[in-house]
Amino acid sequence: MHKFAPRDRKVKILATLGPASRDPEMLERLFRAGADAFRVNMSHGEHAHHRETIAAIRALETKYSRPIAILADLQGPKLRVGTFKDGRAVIRHSGHFTLDRNPEPGDETRVQLPHPELFGLLKKGQRLLINDGKIRLKVIRADEDAILCSAEVGGVISDRKGVNVPDAEVPIPALTDKDRRDLAYAMEQGVDWIGLSFVQRPEDLAEARKLMGRKGSLCAKIEKPSAVRRLDEILEMADGLMVARGDLGVELEPFEVPPLQKQIVNKARTAGKPVIVATQMLESMIESPAPTRAEVSDVANAVYDGADAVMLSAETAAGEWPEEAVAMMDRIAAQVERDEAYLPRVRFLDTPPDRTTADALAHSCMTIADTVAIRAITVFTFSGSTARRVARERPSVPMMVLTPSLDTARRVGLLWGAHAVVTRDIGSFEEMIAKGKRMALRHGFGASGDKLIVLAGVPFGTPGSTNLLHIVTLSGNELKRHSD
């Protein structure tokens, strides 16, 4: 077992695994370079590959005695056109193009759209975006058999390219048959988070939640304008959000995405739920060992906004410089957090505590740490809710989360400032204080003479009972008394 010091930053790094990084040796290098959690993309690869990847992450977790969050990202209901006679065709600018039910291979005038739910739904003037928006069509007429469009932007179209429908809420479920199989498999493999793609409405989360049972946490990926319109309802049902800027940037104008990113981050933070900023953060590092200045600024802005986590996609999954991409993101985040303006900026968002004892105490942790020379906040929690409350306040010192639940310890791996330690439950006030001190000394959250905030609930072992805050002073003798 290797001892691993707490990260020198509070924002988390979520790295996507793939052909360039699923090897156990590279996986360990990514972890050591700064990856706090890993994303397994269920859109690609077989279940056997995912099983090996998850097993490698769990082996790494054991080696370093540090819980690691795994997010399994479901593919979702991707709309696609059919096939073409020659595998491709050219749609003429300003010309007409028809999407229909005919399964015959298409040409420059038409192609099959194998999604019956779209026929009769679309109206004149609404848009269809194909191949990530490279082709832009506007509906002239739509009926039960065909959708006649004018090509605002034409170009080359080929077999099974994706279709985005930004102006309508498409009546398709968020889970396909493949997604249900992938979700069941991910739960069987013990992943900690499920990423639900192409969420449009709060009801989309209900089926996934039911299939998950009481296991794992559910992250709603916000990548559709319809999801933005119903963000409050979706946030209420989700355990966390992801700002999935890829498809969001296809269906909206590019300049609309940055303010929306801030809006989504702020709403998730106010609710005390983790929020991940994702897609194209260090895109040039897929092929280059160095990012552009614009990409560095993009990552820095997400950190300044107070996001819980920033994500790498193809940079680590298929890029040529996966370890360098993680290390670069780590350095950017650490530099931002050293900026004197950082805390005032992340606290510019007002997150008033709810009228509960637990929220009042979490808020007090932040104000005490600003007033007194506190080294760290130790939170005893079973479900993780107390840790989320403290993280919402964005305290100036790190948070050590002590929990008897390995599942909880893993899930808080995406939570701002949280460093989880699995330890036996406590049974008394004296035991709580002694254990809080020992764990802080053992895991690098203080030295003899440092002050520590301890937050817990009485009676012990009762979820949701946070009602006790205590300030202690560490002593080097604490480590000699007991072992955990």
**Token pair of 361 as six digits:** 């105490």
The partner residues of 217 in beta bridges, in order of sequence, read 193
Distance CA 107, CA 92 (A): 11
How would you classify the pairing of strands 127-130 and 162-164?
antiparallel
Q: Which residues of 247-281 are buried (b: 16+ CB within 10 A; e: fewer)?
A: bbbbbbeeeebeebbbebbbbbbebbbbbbbbbbb
* Residues sharing a CB contact under 8 Å with residue 408, sequence separation 6 or more, in sequence order: 381, 382, 383, 384, 401, 420
Q: CA 289, 293, 297 angle in degrees (round to 5)?
A: 115
Alpha-carbon torsion angle 237, 243, 245, 248, nearest 10:
30
Residue 306: CB atoms within 10 A of its CB come to 26
For residues 255 and 297, is the Cβ–Cβ distance under 8 A? Answer: no
- Omega before 459 within 30 of 0, i.e. cis: yes
Catalytic positions, please? 39, 80, 221, 279
Distance CA 133, CA 284 (A): 20
In whole angstroms, how far apart are CA 9 and each of 99, 396, 399?
Answer: 50, 11, 11
